[in-house]
Amino acid sequence: MEVKVLGAGCAKCNQLETLVKQTLQELGKEVKVDKVTDFPTIMSYGVMSTPALVVDGTVKVSGRIPSVSELKIMLS
């Protein structure tokens, strides 16, 4: 599984990264979470508003922080 958090380092971007790592730990998954801050790369995913979460190359959420229950579904 490949997990990326897209964002320029804003508070919400950092919050999403932390939440994703905590959720993966709760699910018992040892997955590296990559943080992407490069705007051309972020835009290559079609993301116009951050933070965004990409799982296995697919944008799962953009522009908001999902709930823990939503994250568990996205990361299962």
CATH of the domain at 59: 3.40.30.10
Structure tokens at 71: 């994250």
Polymer length in residues for the chain = 76
Residue 10 a catalytic site member? yes
Beta-carbon neighbour count of residue 55 at 10 Å? 18
Containing 20, the helix (H) or strand (E) segment is: helix 11-26
Does 68 have pLDDT greater than 90?
yes
Instruction: Give residue 9's pLDDT.
Output: 86
Instruction: Give residue 2's pLDDT.
Output: 98
Instruction: Give residue 57's pLDDT.
Output: 97
Q: How many domains in the chain?
A: 1
- Domain boundaries, position 18: 3-75
**Active-site residue, from 2, 8, 9, 10:** 10
Q: What is the pLDDT of residues 25-67, one digit of tens each?
A: 999 999 999 999 999 999 999 999 999 999 999 999 999 999 9
pTM exceeding 0.85? yes
Residue 67 a catalytic site member? no
